[in-house]
Amino acid sequence: MNERYLSVDQVAEVLGTTVRFPRRLIEERRITYVKVGRHVRIPESAVREFINANTVQPRRRGRALRGVAA
């Protein structure tokens, strides 16, 4: 088991947000987490999955998008 588990503070730092955002993700069950006693830890893989699932790819500009008639 080589999985690294991050604290809420560490996840906030990785995501570049306040601590409130990962806490909300946990509360809304939008990210996988583990309870260790009263502590909450988030697997690094869950953070990567969250980022991948919410990454928006840029559109490729085609002729129709530039207003050029075909």
pTM, two decimals, is 0.79
Identify the pLDDT of residue 61.
Answer: 83
pLDDT at 30 over 80: yes
What DSSP assignment string belongs to 1-70?
A: ----EE-HHHHHHHHTS-THHHHHHHHTT-S--EEETTEEEEEHHHHHHHHHHT--PPPPP-TGGGT---
Mean pLDDT of the chain: 91
